[in-house]
Amino acid sequence: MPGLLRGVARTAAVAGTATAVSNRVARRQQGRWARQAPPGPTPASSPSPSPVASPPLPPSAPLTDDMNDKIDQLKRLGELKAQGLLTEAEFTDQKHRILSD
């Protein structure tokens, strides 16, 4: 039974971390798109300016090599923690280091 719980905990940690990474990437992309959007017409040049919509995120955007590397690092980190080689504090510290790159 402890092996099953360890596997479930590892899966939850990896899935949660992958979700956090995915959300961070989505926020970064939205910020980049917002900065790249052409400025809208000024009120003086156009009596009825149309709103500028940012492009929607694709439902399943392909992961970049950098993102795949981060996910692999996080999986290995989760495995080390599950094996008892890392403490919770070490795991959290390394996870934040990987995600902040």
Six token digits for residue 77: 């980190």
What are 23-41's pLDDT values in tens digits? 788 888 888 888 886 665 5
DSSP code, position 61:
P
Decide if 98 contacts 72 (C-beta within 8 A).
no
Average per-residue pLDDT in the chain? Answer: 75
Higher pLDDT, 49 or 5: 5
- In terms of C-beta distances under 8 Å and separation of at least 24 residues, what long-range contacts does 17-20 make, across chains too? 17/74, 17/78, 17/95, 17/99, 18/71, 18/74, 20/99
At residue 49, the pLDDT reads 53
Q: How far apart are CA 66 and CA 85, in angstroms?
A: 26
Higher pLDDT, 4 or 50: 4
